[in-house]
């Protein structure tokens, strides 16, 4: 299945869990189950927006976007993080009201059963989505998968809290559990927003990927090539690296271009999805890079 197919499935599962969790809240009157249902609404909105942004990210490069549209996925992750934070505030508001006016719970068995059924759906889908996200390096799909995992642990916490209410008779536990749920999903929301901001600000490649790049460059060191000013960035599933390759000045342009082609191919083979830009310079020429990343060969 493709990334977009998984997101379409996420939309369908979100609709199913909304029905199940809303029914669980309706039959039990539990505000913590209501909080769980509200988070499923966020799942639906997040998956729908992620599907849209993945479609935009897949568009080919054009004159206005020569590096492609891959960063669109970061908007999806950030949007989902903001939705999670909004849901957390709504849950806290409902929980505070219930804490001030406790109410007995009803038909708790049915409520818990429906909640667990939706949790099983979310858990299975989140596991499959996270594997696919790692395979395709899709931050939109990963954000949706991690949100679903948060929903799974949230639902388990709600169920355990309601069982505690049932066994102790302490009605105040229900809104307290709801507020704990809100705090947990707010943390997840902040993490998603932070990661999206990092991506939009051209964060460097992961240390392990940079190590692969350096290993490839080192393998060409015995061919009189010297590399410097290596810089990198990532845009969702795509990765970019820019560098200077110094060669003896007496080399022909054809020989230098052939070696550069070998280096680019080796880099792309080592790091799937990498786009390498290599500037050729004579060995006795140094390029001075200013604060804006522009190079001036002298």
What pLDDT tens digit does each residue of the chain (298 aa) get? Answer: 676 777 777 788 778 877 887 887 777 777 667 766 776 777 777 778 777 877 787 788 778 877 777 777 777 778 777 877 877 787 777 777 767 776 666 656 666 777 778 778 878 888 887 887 777 767 667 777 777 777 777 777 777 777 777 777 777 777 787 787 778 778 877 877 887 777 677 777 888 888 999 999 988 876 667 888 898 887 666 788 999 999 888 889 999 999 999 999 999 888 887 888 899 998 877 766 555 455 554 4
Q: What is the mean pLDDT of the chain?
A: 77
Q: What is residue 97's predicted lDDT score, i.e. its pLDDT?
A: 72
Contact 190, 81 (CB under 8 A): yes
The model's pLDDT over 175-220, given as tens digits with 9 standing for 90+, comes to: 787 787 778 778 877 877 887 777 677 777 888 888 999 999 988 8
How far is the CA of 269 from the CAs of 216, 226, 229, 281, in angstroms? 10, 20, 21, 24
Q: What is residue 244's predicted lDDT score, i.e. its pLDDT?
A: 92
Q: What's the token pair of residue 272?
A: 């799937």
Contact 189, 82 (CB under 8 A): yes
> Quick one: CA dihedral 178, 180, 183, 189, positive or negative?
negative
Q: What is residue 105's predicted lDDT score, i.e. its pLDDT?
A: 60
Provide φ and ψ at 147, rounded to 5°: -65, -40
Residues of CATH 1.20.1510.10 domain(s) within the chain? Answer: 3-200
Q: What is residue 16's predicted lDDT score, i.e. its pLDDT?
A: 82
Contact 208, 44 (CB under 8 A): no
Q: Assign 172 to helix, strand or coil.
A: coil
Residues of CATH 3.30.70.1350 domain(s) within the chain? Answer: 207-297
Provide φ and ψ at 281, rounded to 5°: -140, 150
CATH classification of 207-297, choosing from 3.40.1160.10, 3.40.710.10, 3.40.190.10, 3.30.70.1350? 3.30.70.1350
Q: What's the token pair of residue 30?
A: 């539990």
CATH classification of 3-200, choosing from 2.40.10.480, 1.20.210.10, 1.10.10.10, 1.20.1510.10? 1.20.1510.10
Q: What is residue 290's predicted lDDT score, i.e. its pLDDT?
A: 54
Q: What's the token pair of residue 226?
A: 């010297």
Contact 244, 279 (CB under 8 A): yes
pTM score, whole prediction: 0.58
Q: What's the token pair of residue 254?
A: 């054809």
Distance CA 148, CA 6 (A): 13
The model's pLDDT over 81-121, given as tens digits with 9 standing for 90+, comes to: 787 787 778 777 777 776 777 666 665 666 677 777 877 88
């Amino acid at each position: 299945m493709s990334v977009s197919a998984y997101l379409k499935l996420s939309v369908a599962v979100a609709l199913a869990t909304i029905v199940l969790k809303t029914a669980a809240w309706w039959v039990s009157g539990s505000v913590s189950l209501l909080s769980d249902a509200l988070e499923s609404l966020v799942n639906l909105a997040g998956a729908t927006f992620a599907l849209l942004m993945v479609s935009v990210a897949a568009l080919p490069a054009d004159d206005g976007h020569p590096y492609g549209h891959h960063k669109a996925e970061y908007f999806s992750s950030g949007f989902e993080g903001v939705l999670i934070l909004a849901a957390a505030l709504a849950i806290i508001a409902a929980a505070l009201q219930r804490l001030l006016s406790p109410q007995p719970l009803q038909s708790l068995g049915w409520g818990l059963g429906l909640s667990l059924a939706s949790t099983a759906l979310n858990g299975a889908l989140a596991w499959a989505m996270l594997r696919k996200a790692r395979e395709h390096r899709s931050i939109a799909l990963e954000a949706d998968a991690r949100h679903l995992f948060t929903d799974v642990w949230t639902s388990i916490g709600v169920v355990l809290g309601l069982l505690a209410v049932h066994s102790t008779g302490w009605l105040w536990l229900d809104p307290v559990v709801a507020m704990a749920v809100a705090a947990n999903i707010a943390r997840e929301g902040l993490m998603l927003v932070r990661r999206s901001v990092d991506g939009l600000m051209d964060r460097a490649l992961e240390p392990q990927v940079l190590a692969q790049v350096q290993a490839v460059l080192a393998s060409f060191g015995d061919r009189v090539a010297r590399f410097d000013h290596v810089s990198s960035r990532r845009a969702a599933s795509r990765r970019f690296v820019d560098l200077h390759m110094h060669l003896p000045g007496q080399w022909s342009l054809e020989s230098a271009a052939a070696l550069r082609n070998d280096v680019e191919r080796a880099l792309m083979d080592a790091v799937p999805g990498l786009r390498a830009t290599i500037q050729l310079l004579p060995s006795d020429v140094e390029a001075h890079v200013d604060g804006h990343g522009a190079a001036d060969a002298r």
